[in-house]
Structure 1
Amino acid sequence: MTSPLQQKIKITGPSVVTANRTVDGVVVYRSADQRWSTNLADAAIVRDAPTARALLAEAAADDVGAVGAYIAPVLIAADGTVLPGNLREQIRRDGVSITLPSVR
């Protein structure tokens, strides 16, 4: 498997770096102040491959705080709200998309 840092990065719109927190697996986003946040609105938005590559490299170096960092697309709403850019990221942010059966 090829490391995300070795793959060719294509940016077609606004994107963020996301990963999973090592302590509990929660989805986190890399912020401009080089921290991890559980809030997508705190994520640093990148718009070109060199900036994305730099943010991804910095995030991947923090493998104690989070693992599996990669670049994910986002949408910017007219009011400036940052939204997941595809179904995968929406599910990662919101949780499962079906009602799970109750455990007895």
Structure 2
Amino acid sequence: MSRFTPKVVTANRLIEGDAVYLCADDRWSVHHHEAELIEDEAHAQMRLLHANAQRGVVVGAYLADARPGPNGPEPVHFRERFRTVGPSNYPHGKQADQAHV
């Protein structure tokens, strides 16, 4: 049996298209570090079902690998790190908040 890699639930906000992350209190945040870090596979599947039921709020929900960090979950893969800073053609918003990806 393989060990479960911690996950966060991520999706895109339906209207704005922003990458968002499901928090433990069921709200969606644009900040990856606020996401609920899920360390149990069954719980991850339940949270994903919860996210997919919110069709009027988000689209394309999926589980993304993450790891614990000093300020909350951190993305593991480049694609997820890139999604945390938003579209690369905007010099404002998430890009202004971070020095690099």
TM-score normalised per structure 1: 0.74
Partners of 1:42 and 1:68 lie apart in 2 by 19
What is residue 67 of structure 1 aligned with on the other side?
59
Unaligned runs of 5+ in 1: 1-9
1:81 offset after TM fit, Å? 3.7
Alpha carbons 1:26, 1:38 under 8 Å: kept: yes
**Residue of structure 1 equivalent to 2:99:** none
What CA deviation, in whole Å up to 9, does each residue of 1:18-65 have, x standing for no partner?
000011100000111111111112211111210000000001000111
CA distance in 2: counterparts of 1:95 and 1:82, whole angstroms = 17
The alignment covers a number of residue pairs equal to: 88
The residue that corresponds to 1:47 in the other structure is 39
5+ residue gaps, structure 2: 90-101
Larger radius of gyration: 1
CA RMSD, aligned part only? 2.0
Identity %: 36
Residues 36, 73 of structure 2: 8 Å contact kept: no
